Copies of this chain bind each other. A is one copy, B any other.
Amino acid sequence: MILDEKISNELKILALETINNAGSGHSGSVLSAGDILYTLYTKHLLTNGMKTMNRDRFVLSNGHACAILYSILAGLKYFDISELKKFRKFNGMLSGHPEIEIPGIDASTGPLGQGVGNAVGMAIAESIMNARFNLSHYTYCMVGDGCLEEGVGLEALSIAGLYKLNKFILLYDKNDVTLDGKLSKSSADNIIMKFQAMNFNVLECDGHNINAIDDAITLAKKEKNRPTLIIFHTIIGKDTSLEGSNLSHGKVFDKEEIAKLRNKLNITSPYLDLSEETKNQLKKIKQEILKKYQKRVDNFSKYLDENKDLEKKYFKFIENKFNYKEKEFIENNSTRQLNNKVLNEIAKKVENIVVLSADLSSSTKVKIENDSDYSSTNRQGRNIAVGIREHAMGAIANGIALHKGLNVICSTFLAFSNYMLPAIRMAAIMKLDVIFVFSHSSIYDTPDGITHLPVEQLDQLRLIPDLIVCRPFNSTELYRSYDWYFNRKGPICLILSRGDIEYCPSNDDVSKGGYKLFVDNSCDAYILSSGSEVPLAIEVMDKLENYYNVNVVSMLSLEIFEEQNNRYKNSILSKPIFVIESSTCVKYLKYTSEDKIFSVKSFGTSGDEANLKKKYGYTSDIIAKKIINVMKKENLKEGK
């Protein structure tokens, strides 16, 4: 049997050669984090490399350190070692930062701090699934200095401490160097004290001593009441000419430098490969892991087998097979209130929905009524407070979705959606099933003033690829939005009004994302609108009655509408198109010219609804008059 150190060093050389072959990548962390990851993957992380429920989760929050992780995953044959040759290359499987599609990768990472939030979300999900079904695993997360400086990371860590997530183990590759220089240049935090203040168990350890690393992780796993931070003291670029220097961070070591390191570490494995003895040893190690992993799976299966009711429910949770009835709410009401009713109807049946709130559930109305608060002593409570931490809320929601087994919904004001945009982008990138709810959707929705009134936010969301944005105006549209959430892969945004919206029925075409609200045989023009502006559009339609035949199109979701066939789309778009929406309306420019769009062009201001509507042009008198002018000017159609 060869020594762990030898195998670990071989894997590091393999990673450095992978980077050398790619022509770009991050070598510094290969040499600082290598021994930690080797120890984790060979002695602790129980997984079969597939996305199974019982596996331990691991998130590499400092995603740039992926070369060494890929090297270890290849060594353990979670994928073929030849893939390393295509690292960072076009059409290669191994991208420049970890991606969820890669075997053995539990979260796509890259933007720093996000992975910490994801891992905390996974640990929360585990705690819930554990309380309900006895599912049990650890969630490990590796971070560099960056993830601990990022606000989203700091927010998430407070939550981990608050909820006493003792199976959340944070592995800190503390090499004291960041891209631009020594860590001391940008941080003077006392990390031990800071984490203890956040209720963490803190351990310290030499990050290049495999026995010590092993012991520290073993100790962390025994902690029963707090999450654990293990501070691994490491050396970036260890044993190279750039040892300890920030210049090693994004360095591609040339073959000569790697040869020197091979010599120093006495490594003679083939180029971009591992020695036979290392392969054999890793094979044995993997068998050992799989055996232990299988034992965990068997125990869990046995438990379920002995608890048939639970078993049935567990599979309902996992397969997300719930039926709920759509109870319509025919009432003049705000969509935040309607959503509260719809969500609670759904939540009665869909038992695995959990709700995250960034301290605005009183206002967004996104909460499960008659249910309890999740806490360290009540893991089954379905309302999970995350404090005034929108960004971590998003990253944690992503982690819960990554974990599987639960549906997750979170909320804040639309004006503050930009606090969590990086997390929403990651949800779209990973195609995660998360509902992001944003209320207070209009420029006239509150007297709170300029900072609280959304302008650009709705369209900033719509610009993110693979994100469905819904702005419903009645309960039917709310149910359709939830349909898309349950029946499609990927995140959904729900944009809700603060103020009341006069009721108007939808029709079957609602499933097409954009649809005519009224039957028309001949129509001179359509008004596209959504959410809180739909009643206004109808009012405008009524005012135009003596001039033109106009119909209103509710544009519940531009993305879903865009997916429809041209024939359907043109049944609307071939006529003159007007748009009324409290947003920059920039995406509607595809359908019509700027002079036909009633959008918001400047920041908001304090005031009452009536005056704000007038100021921003959202009154039927103003709009009807303008539409008549445009129709005349452009000779689109003579008035009646």
Contact = CB atoms under 8 A, between A and B. Distances in A.
A419 B150 CA distance: 9
Contact of A96 (B90, B188, B449, B456): B449
A13 B191 CA distance: 44
Interface stretch (A35-43, A153-161, A166-174): A153-161
Interface in A450-467: 450-452, 455-456, 459-460, 463-466
Given A193-B193, A389-B150, A110 B452 contact: yes
Interface string A406-420: 000000000110110
Interface stretch (A178-186, A288-296, A542-550): A178-186
A250 B446 CA distance: 13
A611 B90 contact: yes
Contacts of A603: 428-429, 465-466
A151 B161 contact: no
Contacts of A154: 151, 154-155
A463 to B, nearest CB: 4
A535 interface: no
A456 B463 contact: yes
Interface string A361-390: 111000000000100000000000111111
Contacts of A589: 586, 589-590
A149 interface: yes
B149 A450 contact: no
A88 interface: yes
Contact of A194 (B162, B194, B388, B446): B194
A181 B452 CA distance: 21
A279 to B, nearest CB: 27
A594 B588 CA distance: 11
Contacts of A617: none
A344 interface: no
A605 B95 contact: yes
- Copy number in the complex reads 2
Interface in A40-63: 63
A199 interface: yes
Contact of A158 (B187, B449, B465): B187
Contacts of A82: none
Contact of A149 (B145, B146, B147, B158): B158
27 contacts: A23-B447, A24-B446, A89-B608, A90-B606, A90-B612, A91-B607, A96-B446, A97-B451, A97-B452, A99-B449, A99-B450, A110-B451, A113-B151, A149-B387, A149-B389, A151-B153, A151-B389, A158-B189, A162-B189, A178-B359, A187-B387, A189-B198, A193-B194, A250-B363, A425-B456, A455-B463, A586-B589
Given A178-B359, A178-B388, A466-B603, 20 more contacts: A88-B449, A88-B606, A90-B612, A91-B611, A92-B606, A95-B449, A95-B605, A96-B446, A111-B415, A149-B158, A158-B188, A162-B187, A179-B359, A180-B360, A181-B385, A186-B389, A194-B197, A456-B465, A466-B602, A586-B586
Interface of A: 22-24, 63-64, 88-92, 94-97, 99, 108-113, 145-147, 149-155, 158, 161-162, 178-181, 185-194, 196-199, 246, 250, 357, 359-363, 373, 385-392, 415-416, 418-419, 421-422, 425-426, 428-429, 446-452, 455-456, 459-460, 463-466, 584, 586-587, 589-590, 594, 601-603, 605-608, 611-612, 615
